[in-house]
Amino acid sequence: MRLYESVFIARQDISTTQVESMADEFAGIITNAGGKVHKREYWGLRSLAYRIKKNRKGHYIMFNLETDGPTLKEYERIMGLNEDVLRFLNIRIEEVEEAPSIIMQNKGERSERGDRDRGDRDRGDRGDRGPRGPRPDQSDRGGDRSASEAKADAPKAGEDAPAEAAASDDKGSAESAASEE
């Protein structure tokens, strides 16, 4: 028998007791076939990186299993048929780590840390800098021009017309010369 790590994500709208009973069902598949569940962790309701089947969050559960290939196939088949399972992944591992997983270790550290100590900084990103100065008026800004200034800079209708007409005459004479040959 080989060792596997299995993680599955359950829908966000089911309760933790439903998630635990689902995890018991999946663990039962392994144990009934002669396998063994070495470790089981509930990582909690966590945000997903992207939406999966209209869910933004999911309940994460991790197993460390010892089982054979056909039992793992059946385990994967049943997980795939369960509508409450959004995603699952099973990987083969060399040995089971007895210590809590990194996810569980980080969860414990967060509760011990509490709130961050920001000292007397109350402005967030400004740090030790003073308050910002007054903002300049809209008229001082380079990108804003009044409508009268924009009209004054626009080319007049008669200025571009002769250049366009001359260009069209050149094309017309070239076309007529080509057709005469």
Q: Tens digits of per-residue pLDDT, 19-51?
A: 999 999 999 999 999 999 999 999 999 999 999
Indicate whether 174 pLDDT > 70. no
Query: Quick check: is 119 in a domain?
Result: no
Residues 23 and 95 in one domain: yes
- Spell out the alpha helix ranges (H) of 33-88: 69-81
Does 153 share its domain with 103? no
The CA angle 12-13-19, to the nearest 5 degrees, is: 70
Is the domain of 100 the same as that of 159?
A: no
pLDDT at 13: 94
Question: How many structural domains is the chain composed of?
Answer: 2
Q: Please tell me whether residues 156 and 106 are part of one structural domain.
A: no
Residues 6+ apart with CB under 8 A from 79: 8, 26, 85, 88
Domain membership of residue 39 as a residue range: 2-113
pLDDT in the model for residue 105: 76
**Arithmetic mean of pLDDT, 5-18:** 94
Give the Cα separation of 55 and 136 in Å (integer).
46
Report yes or no on 131 lying in a domain.
no
